[in-house]
Structure 1
């Protein structure tokens, strides 16, 4: 089994009678260079190091039993990492990356369920410190 579609010798996609009967359409293959040159902007994404920092905090909070699920959205204007206590509810927190705010308030922010921005800044690791627990003295 390969990742490549079955192509006849002329390079055109092969038509299949089974796909037309089941109601599914054949996928269109688009060259990556054509996609990058398209007038539609690419979605904003988290870079690998940013995602590593977010997933480190997420793993710690899952281990503590605070969080259970997450969703990752890459939109045209921002990237959002949403954190859930239960998968059927509203997100407890949203970690957002908005490059348009990078020169002003900082591209990264943490927003709670009510829409209040808990912390915003230029450095993601500093913004994620909002999830650090304050140690209390137990007597």
Structure 2
């Protein structure tokens, strides 16, 4: 089994349903994708141990980190701020180098990260999920 390097992992968005995905440049970090189901207690008075069944999953917000670029209308910061300002749910897709994809619908919120001496300017785009995450496997 060979390992997989994260190099060339991408985040793309689709501006309209039925449209094509457009990559958002300068992605630096991708959050964990997926979630654990909450435990629902089904212990009865006759039970000798606590018993649970899986409940719904809380996937939380997904925080993607980017190298800051605001030079042109197609720059990552302007694109994501534009999606935030539009206030609409957008379809996003994370794709790994082997072709595995994670697609989801979300609202986006952009915030500048803290600045420090001798450090790169970065920002974070947080995605508030509005759908489940659909996983596609690579095609051979």
TM above 0.5: no
Higher relative contact order (CA 8 A, sep 6+): 2
Quickly name the TM-score band, shorter chain normalised. under 0.3
Q: Between Structure 1 and Structure 2, which shows a larger proportion of strand residues?
A: 2
For normalisation by structure 1, the TM-score amounts to 0.24
* Structure label with greater radius of gyration: 1
